[in-house]
Amino acid sequence: MRAGKHLRIHDAALSELQETARRYEVTRSGLGSEFVRAVDAAVERIMLGPEVWPLSLGEHRYVLPRLPFSIYYRLTADTVYVLAIAHQRQQPGYWRTRK
């Protein structure tokens, strides 16, 4: 993790992670855990260079490989704030009112 940058995850984004993992696990045993590991790996990559990932709908966006999800996050001087773990077919920008 980059020195000086802290990670914060919005409660709603954490709920999205947990709910999606539960749904995936019902679909196929182990798939929920696979999803959580993919999100964890993505967050680690984001933390290595949060400025690198492009802006989309006013927030930085990291697209998960092989999964139809994106992580939307906001940067401040010392924080990476994950706003949403959004399915790419959901309504764009639904998380924008999250503080």
Residue 93 in any domain: the answer is no
Residue 69 in any domain: the answer is yes
pTM, entire model: 0.90
Residue 92 in any domain: the answer is no
pLDDT given for residue 2 in this prediction: 45
DSSP 52: T
For 48, 51, 75, 79, 99, the CA distances from 68, given in Å and listed in that order, are 22, 22, 23, 26, 24
**22-48 pLDDT tens trace:** 999 999 999 999 999 999 999 999 999
Q: In whole angstroms, give the CA distance from residue 11 to residue 4.
A: 22
Number of domains in the chain: 1
Mean pLDDT, rounded, of the chain: 92
Residue 46 in any domain: the answer is yes
Residue 28 in any domain: the answer is yes
CATH number of 46's domain: 3.30.2310.20
Domain of 67? 6-87
* In contact, 72 and 95? CB cutoff 8 Å: yes
Residue 80 in any domain: the answer is yes
